[in-house]
């Protein structure tokens, strides 16, 4: 206790210098903590968006991940309902899983032949009720903080309506549906001259009529715009369905926005499999906690092997490579900031402690003459460096908490990767205590290490030279 009192009094001997040193440490703490909170919000927000949309794990027929995108019908999961039942009934998996749902993904041509417009599309068939549940996932409290009382985004498809479809805004624009769907800031296509081609088919052919020989036409009293979707079935035959377009939503990425067609899984199965067996391209699993991904994946693989199922399992980091890229980017930026702040703290403490050693040379000689060992002198200066680090780091942590609270009240917004619209820009404070404690300890350790060199120089002083120093 006496050492602490002496160290504290020595710090106060030159209060201005000590204040500047502690302030430099506090600024380093604020910079690292605030950026860490920002990085936490971005990374966890991105992860939340990916898991809401794609789940934690996806089950595919073996080979789909490498070859199935070009021919989804050939790599589909037959008897997918029994596979889902097997997963749900497993006693190990049951407490870990929030949602298990089938999906169908396919490619084809979408047409609005009322204006002779067509475009290649990416169709995604889902179970709307399951997707609605997936959108409520919020393990890290990102949505609870970002929404702040506003209504949560709901999945746009109508439950139990296989004729309903939702388009990406880019695809709706290319198909001339801006005005029927009342899409804001959506330009109409420019007028172009009509070119007549010899022996060309009539321009007003409706693809839906080509399939009328093979399936009964749907009747509807709805006045929503309609599109025709043409795709090849698993057997290679052309197939067409006609869907009502209830709306258009941005998909976040232009490439996806220009191709996306969301529909009920039964409509996607009708288009991809025709009159054949209706299968699923993948089975999506959303867990309660991301930490259970590896455990769940291992159990699924063991379960499929035991039942002789030719299936493979991939997690969301494999299906969304941007996730690891985002983490790597922000991790590199944080390391860069941490190194700069550490160098500033290091040189500031070294300079302060060196000045203190020079000013107290006579005192050091007197203490050594009175019998204080070299280790005692070294311990005294190390304790002063530790105390400067503790005061500065503690002040920085407190000020960072105040800054985060004020920043989160500013109402700033941004559009993160994969989001369709701007969301509030916040600093993540929930669950960051471990990170803040690590920064606090690291800065104190850095200040203590920085004091080691001046402390060693003070301990190695010759008693006679120190006593006659003026």
Q: What phi and psi, each to the nearest 5 degrees, are found at residue 253?
A: -110, 135
Stretch 84-105: mean pLDDT = 95
Tell me which H or E stretch contains 349: helix 322-359
User: Which of 175, 152, 184, 187 lies closest to 260 in space, CA to CA?
Assistant: 175
Evaluate whether residue 319 is within a structural domain: no
The pLDDT, as a whole number, for residue 278 is 92
Q: How high does pLDDT run on average in the chain?
A: 86
Evaluate whether residue 318 is within a structural domain: no
Q: Check whether residue 375 and residue 285 sit in a common domain.
A: no
Q: Check whether residue 421 and residue 300 sit in a common domain.
A: no
3-state helix, strand, coil in the chain (%, to 5): 50, 15, 30
Task: Give the residue, 283 or 68, on which the prediction is more confident.
Answer: 283
The pLDDT, as a whole number, for residue 233 is 86
The pLDDT, as a whole number, for residue 260 is 92
Q: Check whether residue 23 and residue 145 sit in a common domain.
A: no
Evaluate whether residue 302 is within a structural domain: yes
149: left (phi over 0), alpha (psi -120 to 50) or beta: left
* Each residue's pLDDT tens digit, 187-225: 766 665 444 445 545 544 455 455 444 444 444 455 678
Separation of alpha carbons 444 and 345, rounded Å: 10
Q: Check whether residue 406 and residue 429 sit in a common domain.
A: yes
The pLDDT, as a whole number, for residue 61 is 93
Evaluate whether residue 151 is within a structural domain: yes
Q: Check whether residue 9 and residue 158 sit in a common domain.
A: no
Residue 468 CA: distances (Å) to CA of 364, 455, 462, 463: 11, 20, 10, 9
The domain boundary residue, chosen from 280, 309, 338? 309
The pLDDT, as a whole number, for residue 469 is 65
Q: Check whether residue 180 and residue 217 sit in a common domain.
A: yes
Q: Which residues contact 456 (CB under 8 A, 6 or more apart)?
A: 378
Separation of alpha carbons 25 and 395, rounded Å: 9
Evaluate whether residue 290 is within a structural domain: yes
The pLDDT, as a whole number, for residue 65 is 83
408 C-beta neighbours (distance < 10 Å), count:
19
Stretch 97-103: mean pLDDT = 96
β-partners of residue 240 are: 230
Q: Check whether residue 35 and residue 81 sit in a common domain.
A: no
Burial of residue 134 (CB within 10 Å: 0-12, 13-18, 19+) is: buried
The pLDDT, as a whole number, for residue 394 is 96
Tokens of 131: 């997707």
Tokens of 462: 């010759």
What pLDDT band is residue 370 in, cutting at 50, 70 and 90?
Answer: confident
The domain boundary residue, chosen from 309, 334, 366? 309
Tokens 């949602």 belong to 99
Whole-structure pTM over 0.85, yes or no?
no
The pLDDT, as a whole number, for residue 130 is 93
Tokens 């703490």 belong to 29
Residues comprising the chain, all counted: 470
Q: Check whether residue 258 and residue 337 sit in a common domain.
A: no
The pLDDT, as a whole number, for residue 323 is 87
User: Which of 422, 313, 253, 322 lies closest to 47 in space, CA to CA?
Assistant: 322
Number of domains into which the chain is organized: 2
Q: What three-state secondary structure class fits 242? A: strand
Whether the predicted pLDDT of 245 surpasses 80: yes
Whether the predicted pLDDT of 405 surpasses 90: yes
Separation of alpha carbons 401 and 459, rounded Å: 39
The domain boundary residue, chosen from 309, 335, 355? 309
Stretch 423-449: mean pLDDT = 91
DSSP readout, 446-470? Answer: HHHHHTHHHHHHHHT--HHHHHT--
Burial of residue 281 (CB within 10 Å: 0-12, 13-18, 19+) is: buried
Q: Check whether residue 206 and residue 73 sit in a common domain.
A: yes
CB of 172 within 8 A of CB of 181? yes
Evaluate whether residue 153 is within a structural domain: yes
The pLDDT, as a whole number, for residue 216 is 45
Pairing of strands 97-112, 226-232: antiparallel
Q: Check whether residue 28 and residue 87 sit in a common domain.
A: no
Q: What phi and psi, each to the nearest 5 degrees, are found at residue 320?
A: -125, 80
Whether the predicted pLDDT of 46 surpasses 50: yes
Q: Check whether residue 276 and residue 349 sit in a common domain.
A: no
Q: Can you give the residue range of the structural domain that contains 331?
A: 2-46+324-467
* Each residue's pLDDT tens digit, 456-468: 998 888 888 778 7
């Amino acid at each position: 206790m006496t050492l602490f009192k002496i160290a504290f009094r020595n710090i106060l001997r030159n209060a201005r210098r000590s204040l500047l040193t502690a302030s430099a440490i506090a600024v380093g703490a604020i910079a690292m903590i605030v950026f860490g909170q920002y990085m936490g919000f971005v990374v966890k927000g991105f992860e939340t968006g990916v898991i809401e949309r794609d789940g934690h794990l996806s089950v595919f027929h073996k080979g789909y991940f490498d070859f199935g995108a070009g021919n989804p019908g050939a790599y589909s999961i037959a008897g997918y309902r029994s596979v889902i039942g097997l997963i749900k009934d497993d006693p190990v998996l049951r407490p870990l899983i929030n949602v298990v749902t089938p999906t169908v993904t396919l490619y084809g041509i979408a047409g609005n032949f009322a204006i002779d417009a067509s475009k290649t599309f990416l169709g995604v068939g889902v179970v709307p009720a399951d997707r609605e549940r997936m959108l409520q996932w919020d393990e890290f409290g990102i949505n609870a903080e970002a929404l702040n009382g506003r209504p949560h985004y709901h999945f746009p498809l109508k439950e139990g309506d296989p004729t309903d479809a939702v388009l990406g805004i880019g695809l709706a624009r290319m198909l001339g549906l801006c005005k029927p769907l009342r899409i804001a800031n959506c330009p109409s296509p420019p007028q172009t001259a009509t070119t007549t081609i010899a022996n060309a088919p009539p321009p007003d052919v409706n693809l839906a009529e080509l399939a009328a020989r093979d399936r009964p036409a749907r009747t509807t009293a709805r006045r929503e715009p309609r599109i025709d979707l043409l795709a090849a079935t698993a057997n290679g035959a052309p197939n067409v369905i006609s869907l009502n377009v209830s709306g258009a939503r941005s998909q976040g990425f232009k490439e996806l926005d220009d191709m996306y067609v969301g529909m009920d899984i039964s409509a996607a199965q009708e288009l991809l499999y025709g009159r054949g067996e209706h299968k699923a391209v993948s089975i999506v699993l959303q867990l309660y906690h991301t930490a259970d991904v590896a455990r769940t994946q291992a159990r699924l693989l063991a379960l499929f092997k035991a039942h002789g199922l030719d299936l493979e399992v991939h997690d969301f980091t494999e299906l969304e490579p941007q996730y690891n890229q985002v983490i790597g980017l922000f991790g590199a930026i944080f390391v860069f900031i941490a190194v700069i702040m550490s160098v500033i703290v290091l040189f500031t403490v070294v300079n302060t402690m060196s000045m203190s050693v020079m000013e107290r040379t006579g005192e050091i000689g007197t203490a050594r003459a009175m019998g204080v060992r070299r280790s005692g002198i070294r311990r005294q200066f190390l304790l002063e460096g530790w105390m400067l680090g503790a005061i500065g780091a503690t002040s920085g942590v407190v000020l960072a908490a105040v800054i985060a609270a004020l920043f989160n009240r500013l109402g700033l917004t941004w559009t993160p990767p994969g989001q369709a619209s701007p969301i509030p820009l916040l600093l993540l404070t929930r669950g960051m205590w471990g990170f803040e404690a690590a920064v606090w300890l690291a800065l104190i350790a850095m200040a203590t290490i920085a004091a080691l060199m001046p402390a060693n120089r003070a301990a190695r002083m010759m008693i006679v030279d120190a006593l006659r120093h003026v």
